[in-house]
Amino acid sequence: MSRAYDLLEARFKKAAILGDALSVLHWDMSAMMPDGGAEARAEQLALLKTLSHETLTGADMADLLAAAKTEALDDWERANLREMHRDWVHAAALPADLVDAMAKAESTCEMIWRQARPTADFAAVLPSLREILNLTIQAGQAKAEALGVDIYDALLDQYEPDGRSADIDAVFADLETFLPDFIGQALEAQAARPEPQLPAGPFPVENQKQLGQHIMAVLGFDFHHGRQDVSAHPFCGGYPEDVRITTRYNTDDFTTALMGVIHETGHALYDFGLPTGKWRYQPVGRARGMQMHESQSLLMEMQACRSRGFAGFAAPLMQETFNGTGSAWQPENLYRLGTRVKRGFIRVDADECTYPAHVIIRYGLEKALIEGRMDLADLPGAWNDGYRRLLGITPPDDRLGCLQDIHWYGGSWGYFPTYTLGAMSAAQLFAAAKQADPAIETGIARGDFAPLLAWLRTHVHGKGSSLSTRDLLVAATGKPLDAGVFKAHLQKRYLD
């Protein structure tokens, strides 16, 4: 007779395979699908999400979970059961008709957003976004009751298990105190040095793609199990055997696409390195929340690939790719360009000093909207107010303002704080990795990422969701998340 736990494993494997199919359909919708396919795609996504929901909410699920708790399980099985229970609570909180409605509304709103963003037409997407918000609030209220937390924390828990806004509020309040003076000091230190030179463009898209894919391979991307394409907003999707990343190109500045590619490659490397075999289709075999996932993308983008060592390795490749001449292509100049601090409008293009401000603004706005303290029609003005307050700039239009990110329009509410938590975790993990293995820094300087990737495979990727985020950080670095490590990194790179 099968254990209750074994029956659960079979059921969650089915849900995981449906999730893999959903991920590829989402990628196709963003990177390949013609606009005319939107309505049919919405139906496909809604059906698959409903089937996955039904798989996790069978009438016997509560009894199976309770029975499995009494069975003899090893540590990984018990961790898997913990994650199964979390998934079940989230799924069972929602009626099937709400799951269907949300899936269709998200697909519809995303397609409208793609047309509204280039023309800065927030009014065009507002009705669809309002529907998304209303459905998200319904889902959040249902999950909040099931989890015994407030509505924002219930949504946050979808992306960062056990994440709580009270903890984030304390971290972000500290950063809000630290950042304004620090950014001012960094800009003063920068102004005291000669202005770095911009390499002369234009930079053809095909050359940018060639350079990006070369760097992807250097970092460890496996093109037998992945690919790179173009989309309106860079992202990483697919599943471990077939990882899809995207970027977007600017022929006046090759670095925006390149750093986007490096960021998404960090995500891809995490997916490639997740547990295989028995745990491949189980909740414990997934990445440990978006804080850790963003730590992996930002570790590659901000920590490793904006270092002097990496600039020394990459400069000749960049110069050769674009047939560049002159001192603008020297490693030190490219390093200073890559670490230039600038108060800008676009989050994905932001330097690591101002980046947390972009996230703090979004976090405050989405909390206010979810909690009913702000009307959606007031979002553009409140967005601009936040930028004036924290960065001293005002977006000239909504394309550079509240229309720039896909998250809310695609139904991802509660995600944004994981970016800055991820950036802080990235600094802490990278510091621990370098201390553990001196070959990591010297390897990066010659384009050998194998030592860094090996450390990450052992201490992060291969752990899947067997540990909580806090316990994973403690095991890898010796302590829980420490804002002091992130601040020390910023001060050393930008003030010393």
**206-256 per-position pLDDT tens digit:** 999 999 999 999 999 999 999 999 998 899 999 999 999 999 999 999 999
CB 358 within 8 A of CB 344: no
Is residue 39 included in any domain, yes or no?
yes
Is residue 257 included in any domain, yes or no?
no
Give the separation between CA 394 and CA 400, rounded to whole angstroms. Answer: 9
Q: If pLDDT is split at 50, 70 and 90, which confidence band does 136 have?
A: very high
Is residue 64 included in any domain, yes or no?
yes
Does residue 341 have a pLDDT over 90?
yes
pTM of the predicted structure, to 2 decimals: 0.95
Q: Is the peptide bond before 202 cis (omega within 30 degrees of 0)?
A: yes
- Using DSSP's 3-state secondary structure scheme, residue 58 falls into coil
> Is residue 77 among the annotated active site residues?
no
Is residue 155 included in any domain, yes or no?
yes
Domain membership of residue 76 as a residue range:
4-159
- Burial of residue 410, with CB atoms counted within 10 A of its CB: 0-12 exposed, 13-18 middle, 19 or more buried: buried
Q: How much of the chain exceeds pLDDT 90, in percent?
A: 98
Q: Show the tokens assigned to 314.
A: 């990459």
CB atoms within 10 A of CB 487: 17
Question: Exactly one of 83, 106, 160, 264 is catalytic; which is it?
Answer: 264
Residues at the binding site for Zn(2+) are 263, 267, 294
Is residue 366 included in any domain, yes or no?
no
Give the separation between CA 130 and CA 490, rounded to whole angstroms. Answer: 38
Residues at the binding site are 263, 267, 294
Task: Count the domains in the chain.
Answer: 1
Tell me the average pLDDT of the chain: 97
Does residue 403 have a pLDDT over 80?
yes
Is residue 391 included in any domain, yes or no?
no
Does residue 1 have a pLDDT over 70?
no
What angle is formed at CA 255 by the lines to CA 249 and CA 257, rounded to 5 degrees? 30
Is residue 202 included in any domain, yes or no?
no
Is residue 368 included in any domain, yes or no?
no
Crossing angle between the packed helical segments 122-147 and 75-92, to the nearest 10 degrees = 120
What pLDDT digit, counting tens, does each position of 166-193 carry? Answer: 999 999 999 999 999 999 999 999 999 9
Q: How far is CA 351 from CA 163, 180, 289, 296, in A?
A: 25, 14, 24, 17
Give the separation between CA 463 and CA 456, rounded to whole angstroms. Answer: 10
